[in-house]
Amino acid sequence: MQEPYVPAAPPTPPVPLVALLSRPDLGLRQIAGPPAAGVTINWAHTSEMSDPYPYLLGGELLLTAGVHIPRGTGSDTSYFDDYVARVVAAGGAALGFGVAPVHDTVPRALVAACEAYGLPLVEVPPRTTFSGVARAVWQLMAQARVAELHRITEAQQGLAAAASRPDPVPSVLRRLAGRLEGRAVLYGPEGTEIAAAGREPGGEVRRALAELARFVTGHASSTATDTAAGTRLAAYALGPGRGFVLGVAAPHRESGDHAVASIAAVLLSLLTGEHQSGTGAARSSALVRLLLGARREEVAPLLGGGEGDGDVTRWHVVHARPNTGAPDAVSASALGAALGSPLVDSAEDVVRVLVPAGPRPEAGATPSKPAAPAAQPGWTIGVSSPVAPAEWPAADAQAARALARARATRAPLVRHAERPAFADLVPAGEAEAHARALLAPIGAVASLTETLRAWLSLHGSWDRTAVALSVHRNTVRQRIARCAALLEADLDDPDVRMELWFALRHLRG
């Protein structure tokens, strides 16, 4: 018999079996196995295979009408022992047996096998369909998911309010400990306990939590979990290289606890970062000065972009999109921390980060390539060339185009090229005037110039251009045909393509 395994956690909260049994519209009845109060279900699955093992993911309520049971099996226990053993080995959470149309009652040998293997056995009455049971499972999951999101939202609001108090760090720890009904500890760079809140755990738990905090400071992973004396432990590194760690010890784990603790970790990361370097007040001052009319070059030194004056400090603008779903405040802050910058803006489906790139080499010095932002797991990223603050808007456009190209080519990261080109030999004013004259027939229609730019940059690929612009490939074909007609140009000619590309690079606005 194969050893049972623990199934991977599903994206939705599990459903207690007792909640399913309490539904009067289903009429389910448990007739064997351990008490339903301690059993949870991740999903429902129907199968009439005599060996369902290859088709189970683990955590299922497996529904069967017994079609697979050979005729004449009767009280022969070997078939049912093998069947239940395979369900348990696959990680099945419970077995639901439908009474009728094949069997009038649940076979006694199946009841005995489920009792022996500790598998909950549920009788499904004739009036209840398997699809009705599955629908009830998904309804309960949806209700649990809504309750989880409501709990996370309430926790986020409470933690944000705590962070705005005069004593923000202790307030956040107290609020987090109360939410998790446990202990929340802030460890310093040397592993010392700086602040704590909540119920004091035993010595074994305290030592294990401190050891877990030291573990995350010395490894690439920013989070770690463990269990000690029946208590669930978690540690969250607060920003790369700073040494601050949030430790959490809770007697039990509820759905959404990790998200709540992650929100607290982001807030504490910002609070400890500001306390450590004093940059929080500087960034606030920079924002106020910008709003009051100061130039970007004047406020850039306040943003912590490295040594030197604002006119020699360079920056990368990063545009990023998550590979799945839409970005939220927590994931955006985590991306900024991974890139080494707190200057993060999240709008709709794109996260923008302003990352210091270091000072420009002085005249006569050997140029050194600054450390550009690297690819991040789970994100598609576009990076601008390093620019001075006065060029931030141009770099923002570079990053947007790089992100579009990364999405179209399915690359995790694309950087805007910085190397000198032949086009740079033409004075900027003359190049722009030529570009406006050449592209005048389509210059007034932004969608045409945008499509032509993307299509040329992707070597005339209709499909990749459609992905980059989030339009249908037929729309791309129609726009390119319109460009060719208005420009009176053969876009299959490489010389024409080259001249148009140079013109688009110098076209402003």
Q: What CATH number is attached to the domain comprising 436? A: 1.10.10.2840
Question: Quick check: is 294 in a domain?
Answer: no
Q: Yes or no: say if 430 and 502 are a contact pair by the CB < 8 Å rule.
A: no
Q: Mark whether 337 and 384 lie in a shared domain.
A: yes
Q: Mark whether 195 and 125 lie in a shared domain.
A: no
Cα 447 to chain centroid, rounded: 31
Phi-psi region at 293: left, alpha or beta (left = phi > 0; alpha = psi -120 to 50): left
Task: Read off the tokens for 370.
Answer: 């600054």
**Residue 20's closest CA among 39, 2, 1, 34?**
39
**Residue 271's closest CA among 190, 186, 209, 177?**
186
17: CB partners within 8 A, 6+ apart: 30, 36, 39, 40, 41, 61, 93, 94, 120, 122
**Residue 182's closest CA among 221, 127, 229?**
229
Question: Quick check: is 366 in a domain?
Answer: no
Q: Mark whether 44 and 122 lie in a shared domain.
A: yes
Give the DSSP H/E element, type plus range, for residue 162: helix 130-163
Question: Quick check: is 158 in a domain?
Answer: no
Q: Mark whether 387 and 502 lie in a shared domain.
A: no
Question: Quick check: is 151 in a domain?
Answer: no
Number of domains in the chain: 4
Question: Quick check: is 128 in a domain?
Answer: yes
CATH code for position 184:
3.30.450.30
Residue 488 per-residue DSSP state: T
Question: Quick check: is 253 in a domain?
Answer: yes
CATH code for position 322:
3.30.70
CATH code for position 77:
3.40.1390.20
Q: Mark whether 91 and 172 lie in a shared domain.
A: no
CA distances from 128 to 25, 45, 63, 108 (A): 8, 15, 12, 21
Q: Mark whether 172 and 202 lie in a shared domain.
A: yes
Q: Mark whether 437 and 399 lie in a shared domain.
A: no
Question: Quick check: is 153 in a domain?
Answer: no
SS3 assignment, position 313 = strand
C-alpha to C-alpha distance for 215 and 178, rounded to whole angstroms: 25
Q: Mark whether 380 and 492 lie in a shared domain.
A: no
Q: Mark whether 132 and 62 lie in a shared domain.
A: yes
Q: Mark whether 441 and 407 lie in a shared domain.
A: no
Question: Quick check: is 403 in a domain?
Answer: yes
* Pairing outcome for strands 313-322 and 350-359: antiparallel
| DSSP state letters, 380-402 | EEEEPPPB-GGGHHHHHHHHHHH
Q: Would you write out the chain's pLDDT as a tens digit for each of its 509 residues? A: 444 444 455 556 788 999 999 999 999 999 999 999 889 998 899 999 999 999 898 899 999 999 999 887 766 788 999 999 999 999 999 999 999 888 999 999 999 999 999 999 999 999 999 999 999 999 998 888 888 888 888 888 888 888 777 678 888 899 999 888 899 998 887 777 888 899 888 889 989 998 988 888 766 567 888 888 888 999 998 866 567 889 999 987 776 788 888 888 888 887 776 444 445 556 666 666 666 777 777 777 777 654 444 344 788 999 999 888 777 666 677 677 778 787 888 777 898 998 888 655 444 444 444 467 888 888 899 999 888 888 888 888 889 888 988 888 888 999 887 555 555 566 767 878 888 888 999 988 889 999 999 999 888 899 999 988 889 999 999 999 999 999 999 998 888 898 898 888 777 54
**Number of Cβ within a 10 Å radius of residue 183:** 24
Q: Mark whether 107 and 85 lie in a shared domain.
A: yes
Domain holding 171, by residue range, is 166-277
Q: Mark whether 434 and 402 lie in a shared domain.
A: no
Instruction: Find residue 344's DSSP bridge partners.
Output: 353
268: amino acid identity, one letter? L
Q: Where would I find the H helices in 392-506? A: 392-409, 428-438, 440-443, 446-457, 462-469, 473-487, 494-506
Q: Yes or no: say if 41 and 94 are a contact pair by the CB < 8 Å rule.
A: yes
Task: Read off the tokens for 275.
Answer: 């306390």
C-alpha to C-alpha distance for 443 and 452, rounded to whole angstroms: 11
SS3 assignment, position 344 = strand
